[in-house]
Amino acid sequence: MLEGVSIDMRYSEPPKTEGEVGHASAPGCPKSYKGYPWVTYEGRCYLAGFQAICPHNMKMFLVKGTSQGVCDCKCFHQASTRNHCHLADQFVHLANVNGTCYPVFSQGPCSLKHQILIDNEGNPTCERRQCEDTYLIQKNPNYYAFYDNVTKHCAVNQGKCSPFNFYMTDEDNWIPVCKGLIKAGPTQPSPSKCQHDYVLDDCLGEFDSVRERTRAVRKQGKVLCHWVDDY
């Protein structure tokens, strides 16, 4: 699936009928897999909902109302903003910076001793680090140092904040807050803001004016992200 498959217009999957799960694949692409459609991207077919050719922390989405694919942060299907989204299993938000997704609080493309933060407008920005990485952070790629404005001390995004509480993030808060762990037991999945986890849907809102009509972002000859005008 990483390399994709060639488009072959001799085959086109029929449209899904009422009651069938998922979306039909793009014309010329293989039949959808367990409801996940194949989409066209850079002249080849890729399976939506998976990383495919997309960079780390990104996956292939189906652009709503089309058969085209687009690479974006892998948690954007449940995002409440167009610039960053909540990566629940890592207690951190991913931010789209120039077409590539980086964890908030990481250095990302920022200069030395700087890290990615979110400004008051909800946009990713590079700011000077207030906290140095500890040995624990250096040994764990999903741990990041941040400054806790409540305690006025440096902390770790997945670290303990009291004997029974940990720092956590959620969809609406990119800054970790001190919360108690949920007691184990029967749970119900959180309601998704989008119908499918592979479709960039209306819940994402409109493009930011800065990126509203941008084209493929290229770095060292490799496409990192391809934006479309309207969806």
**pLDDT digits 0-9 by tens, 36-77:** 999 999 999 999 999 999 999 999 999 888 999 999 898 876
- Residue 106: its pLDDT value, please? 92
- Residue 77: its pLDDT value, please? 63
Residues 84 and 73 in one domain: no
Residues 140 and 73 in one domain: no
Which band of pLDDT confidence, cut at 50, 70 and 90, is reported for residue 78? Answer: low
Q: What is the pLDDT of residues 152-178, one digit of tens each?
A: 989 988 888 888 888 988 887 899 988
Residues 28 and 55 in one domain: yes
Exposure letters 99-117 (e unless 16+ CB within 10 A, then b): bbbbbbbbbbebeeeebbb
Q: What is the pLDDT of residues 119-149, one digit of tens each?
A: 988 899 999 999 988 776 778 878 899 999 8
Mean pLDDT of the chain: 77
**35 within domain boundaries:** yes
Q: Which two tokens stand for residue 16?
A: 């899904």
- Residue 130: its pLDDT value, please? 92
- Residue 26: its pLDDT value, please? 96
Residues 117 and 143 in one domain: yes
Domain count within the chain: 2
